[in-house]
Chains A and B, each alone.
Chain A
Amino acid sequence: MRRFHAPHGVDYSMPTSAVASNTAQTAATARSDDGPPPPAPVFLARGLTKIYRSGDLEVRALRELDMELYAGELLVLLGASGSGKSTLLNILGGLDTATSGTVRFEDHDLTSMNQRELTQYRRDHIGFVFQFYNLIPSLTARENVALVTEIARDPMKPDDALALVGLGDRMDHFPAQLSGGEQQRVAIARAVAKRPDVLLCDEPTGALDVETGRLVLRTIDLVNRELGAATVVITHNVSIAGMADRVVHMTSGRISDSYRNAHRISAEELSW
């Protein structure tokens, strides 16, 4: 059974009607939607547009995109290179800002935050997992996790986070002494040790072989279930979609398809 952790300072006063009306697009394309609607959206994006300008060149990475993410759900974001999925993730993660449109995280308006507030937002609410792990080479596995728990408000013990990802016996190893899969699991432990509200994973298996990738996905699945953090996994690997609560396809900066899986299948059953 999933355990829901009440996110810090969440205000559930958001009008549910707005949620209902805004999920119309999602509902219309849903292939299977047999569960009850999730309690409240963690993210609510409306009319999100991102334009990159470089000289005379203008690239529309996101076009009037609407979406939402619910507490505890695992969402897989699929799309080809350049479809805008990373841009969306970056905006949700507070790394980038939209050109127009709004994004709300719980009761915070991300679009109106300055850099300092975005940093604080990432620190308090978001866990990141990168394609290339991005561990600090000079710190052991335990210290890489401790790095984040030292600045978090209600963290787990680093040892517990590492035990959760199955690395209880590798805690004193430096990144150079760990395999790619192990490094990625340290990165996941680092991301979840602060008990984030949202876990954002950008191509977490992109640099790994099938077997190791599967292990990493199982870990993501596990922490999503154990900790109840809303999780977004970006991938161009369609096979991963099976493990999601909900799957969103992006094409040319828009959501082209979205559906809810009747059953999440376990990472072991995935194949590609």
Chain B
Amino acid sequence: MSALTSKLRRDLWRIRAQVFSIAAVMAGGVMTVVALGGTSSSLGSATRDYYISGRFADVFATLTRAPDAVAVRLAAIPGVNSVATRVVKDVRLDVPGLDMPAIGRMVSLPLPGSGGVPLNAVHITSGRTVLPGADKEILVSGRFAEANGLRPGSLLTAIINERYVELRIVGIGAAPDYLYEEPGNAFPSDARGFGILWVPHQLAAAATGMRGAFNDVSIGLAAGAHPSKVIAAVDTLLAPYGGRGAIGRKDQLSDRVVSNELTQMGVMAFAFPAVFVAVAAFLVGSVVSRLIATEREQIAVLKAFGYTSGAVGLHYLAYAAAAAAVGIPLGIGIGVWVGRLYTGIYSDVLRIPGLQFHADWVTIGRAIVVIFLAALSGAISAVRKVAMLPPAEALQPPAPARYRALPFDAIGSRLTLSTPVRMIIRGLERQPRRALLGAMGVAAALAMMAGALSLYDATDNMIGLQFRVGQRQALSVQLVTAVPASTRAVFASLPGVTNVELVRVVPVRLRHMGRSRTVGLTALERDGKMHRLVDVDGQIHAIPPAGIVLSTKVADILAIHTGDTPDMDLLERGTTRRVVVTALLNELMSPNAYMDLTAAGSLMGDGDLINGAYLRLDGPPRPELFEQLRAMPLVGGVTSRTAMVEQFDRMMARSFRISAVVVVIFASIIALGVVYNGARIALSERGRELASLRVLGFTNREVGVMLLGEEAILTIAAIPLGWVLGRAFAAYLTYGFTSENYQVPIVTRAGTYAFATAVVLTASALAGALMYRRSTRLDLVAVLKTRE
């Protein structure tokens, strides 16, 4: 082992606490890259693979009804490679153990013997597939099965053609078009109350009266085909059959949710590592430059004996490399662990077969390179000074530190600052850049924590607006068909029901300036109290007596302003009306259109029809209420608002626990690392001065104040800075969560910021305490005899 290597080894051991604190910050950077980048790439690649193996279609269309022969004409459209027609219908389910009626989306399986892998193929995760000819066997989706404890062999009752039909679950499945199991209409749903049922074709056909016909089509495109051209052709072809407008993958609900998640992950996988990398570079720079300052004479001796500047420079770069060598494996280890937890949460929400956390080695490799470069860039300017230092000059002690009088001093000595306070302020004044960077480091820790935790506040606020301000019904009842408004009396007479409000949701397509969008038009009672129109700021908006209220996002896409009169295609009826847009609503979740229930009836020309009801109850729902609802074949599904909110809260809480723990630990590491190294360097630079003060009769405590005063001021100054940066960080993160369908307003909660501040202060205090303990062990005797 060369002498320099021995020196490096021993010095590293001597300053191990500093090296480790830097390594920990680097580990944080690597951890976030591995965990977030890995989750993102695992999610991305599992989805891509599954889209290929499951033959996820490229274009989707729903329609009222078309004969099977139309499929041949669809297949003839240029650019179309394959066509799969299905029968899709929501049916009422009675699930064993579930007191509420549930909705099953019945999706027909391809006829046996159609050959090859069908489009949107169902992947069996447990059990078996449906046997040919067995018309009461079905497959159910994973989230629904798990939420209700259903297994292969379990029985479900469905209401088909007003008859109760018993269906046997033979397998649990997943399909690329239902990775995300939501109904996709304006009715709320929860995991227990909505599931996908893949059923034999003959059962679906019989249930809907669609023998020899279909109402849903998926299209696979030929390589190089342009989706928009195919979509236009499909729309033209299906228009006579009640086509509701074909969509590409990007508008398909399940794929849209997956894409959003990937985008969000991408934002986070960039933002978090960036903070760590910047702090690591700063720490490496300050520690290495201090090391070089203390070893000036040793450097001179090495150079005088003939070591090249390069060799000496490399020696000091090796300290940075050593921290990286410890931090990187540590970060990878923790990152894989956290990544597995995150991926676990995703696999509960998105049923992607084969979704498992895989450390993405390309990303890790990139992270390693970036961390190494950060470490080197931090050290390089200090090391350059070493290389430039002529040996003869290095043998001389550095010029004494020059201090200037404070600006206060010039003003006059009216400000009676105590001498220790002057020392602290002059120390900060002398190294403004270092002071600023140190404060930025602590602020970054605070900002990272406040920003990340604010995301949960934002989500909580969103849920609050949506379900505590906007929708306040105890139960939403979805009906299988439209019925007259007089049905209100039936619901009002149910046990425990104190209030009933009626709703009608119909799919419509709005067209304006050559653009179009399909939205759910929700017709509500104008004086209703349960479902209210609420904007992002929590303001309630009244429903106008005539015309529609449109989500701002849809209005922007369609270039609609208040007063415009777009065409509205009533997709279930195949007719078009012209409506006036009376107001725009900047809401959290879009796209939506609202109008008054009575006005909707006259617009559609079918009178006071409804297909849903909101119920308010006198207490928790009674079993007999659910019994009676189940007994009504008219009732499609029932959703409890509390169940839905609880389900959401549970999922968020799980994700929050992991994120909060990780963020708190790593923000603490950053704060601790910055303050510890700052104080450690101050102690090394001023140890002699402080020891002299001890000799002069200053107590440990007084000397401690002088040592830690600068760090304390920096930490305190960093806090408001951290709040501002935290808010900006939250804005950046929520920006990543904003999509065409969601807006996440940033929320600044005092509690969250106070918590983040407390964590940073605690970490800083801990670092200060460690350094204070060290300062009490200064060698008072040595200081008398040694030259600076």
Contact = CB atoms under 8 A, between A and B. Distances in A.
Contacts of A51: none
B691 to A, nearest CB: 8
A174 B402 contact: yes
A150 B696 contact: no
A150 B418 contact: yes
B697 A134 contact: no
A139 B697 contact: no
B589 interface: no
Given A138-B427, A139-B419, A122 B696 contact: yes
Nearest to B420: A147
A212 interface: no
Given A143-B422, A150-B419, A123 B697 contact: yes
A114 B537 CA distance: 65
A148 interface: yes
B697 A90 contact: no
A120 interface: yes
Interface in B177-220: none
A128 B695 contact: yes
A23 interface: no
B704 to A, nearest CB: 13
A232 to B, nearest CB: 13
Contact of B695 (A93, A172, A174, A207): A93
Interface stretch (B335-343, B486-494, B778-786): B778-786
B468 interface: no
A219 B695 CA distance: 21
B694 interface: yes
A257 interface: no
Interface string B377-421: 000000000000000000000011111010000000000001110
B423 A136 contact: yes
**Which of A123, A124, A130, A136 has the most chain B CB within a 10 Å cutoff?**
A136
A195 interface: no
A72 interface: no
Contact of B696 (A146, A148, A207): A148
Contacts of A96: 780-781
Contacts of B427: 138
B700 interface: yes
A128 B781 CA distance: 12
Contacts of B403: 137-139, 174, 176
Nearest to A138: B426
Contacts of A148: 696-697
A139 B406 CA distance: 10
A134 B689 contact: yes
A133 B694 CA distance: 14
Given A131-B784, A132-B788, A139 B423 contact: yes
B418 A119 contact: no
B711 to A, nearest CB: 16
Contact of B697 (A86, A122, A136, A137): A122
Nearest to A234: B784
Contacts of A139: 403, 419, 422-423, 426
A190 interface: yes
Nearest to B423: A138
A124 B696 CA distance: 10
A95 B510 CA distance: 88
A207 B397 CA distance: 14
Contact of A202 (B423, B784, B787): B784
A33 B418 CA distance: 48
B33 to A, nearest CB: 42
Nearest to B695: A128
A122 B695 contact: yes
B738 interface: no
A138 B422 contact: yes
B748 interface: no
Contacts of A146: 419
A175 interface: yes
Contacts of A123: 696-699
Q: Please indicate which of the listed interface residues A96, A132, A148 has the most CB atoms of chain B within 10 Å of its own CB.
A: A132
Contact of B692 (A124, A134, A138, A140): A134
A210 interface: no
A122 B419 CA distance: 19
B245 to A, nearest CB: 74
Given A119-B700, A148-B697, A175 B785 contact: no
Given A122-B696, A134-B692, A138-B427, A147 B402 contact: no
A95 B420 CA distance: 22
A19 interface: no
Judged by DSSP, the binding face of B is helix
Nearest to A147: B419
B702 interface: yes
A146 B702 CA distance: 15
A151 interface: yes
Given A128-B696, A132-B786, A190-B696, A176 B423 contact: no
Contact of A130 (B419, B698, B784): B784
A72 B401 CA distance: 37
A95 to B, nearest CB: 5
A21 B625 CA distance: 109
Contacts of B784: 86, 90, 95, 128, 130-131, 134, 202
B419 A143 contact: yes
A116 interface: yes
B510 to A, nearest CB: 71
A259 to B, nearest CB: 27
Nearest to B691: A134
A151 B698 contact: yes
A233 interface: no
A75 interface: no
B430 interface: yes
A126 interface: yes
B689 A86 contact: no
Nearest to B402: A176
B697 A120 contact: yes
A150 B419 CA distance: 8
B695 A137 contact: no
B688 interface: yes
A116 B402 contact: no
B166 to A, nearest CB: 86
Nearest to B399: A176
Contacts of A132: 786-788
Interface string B659-695: 0000000000000000000000000000011001111
Residue of B423, B695, B786 with highest tally of chain A CB at under 10 A: B695
A95 B702 CA distance: 17
B709 to A, nearest CB: 12
Contacts of A131: 784-785
A203 to B, nearest CB: 8
Nearest to A183: B400
Contacts of A150: 418-419
Contacts of B689: 134, 136-137
A143 B421 CA distance: 11
A137 B400 CA distance: 8
Interface in A66-112: 86, 90, 93, 95-96
A88 to B, nearest CB: 12
A143 B695 CA distance: 17
Contacts of B695: 93, 95, 122, 128, 130, 134
B697 A95 contact: no
Contacts of B697: 119-120, 122-124, 126, 148, 151
30 contacts: A86-B785, A93-B695, A95-B781, A116-B699, A119-B694, A119-B697, A119-B700, A123-B698, A126-B697, A128-B784, A130-B695, A131-B784, A132-B786, A132-B788, A134-B688, A134-B784, A136-B423, A137-B401, A137-B403, A138-B403, A138-B426, A138-B427, A139-B423, A146-B419, A147-B693, A151-B698, A151-B702, A174-B402, A176-B401, A202-B784
Given A136-B689, A136-B692, A176-B402, 4 more contacts: A143-B419, A150-B418, A176-B399, A176-B403
6 smallest A-B Cβ distances: which pairs? A123-B697, A134-B692, A122-B697, A138-B426, A176-B400, A137-B401
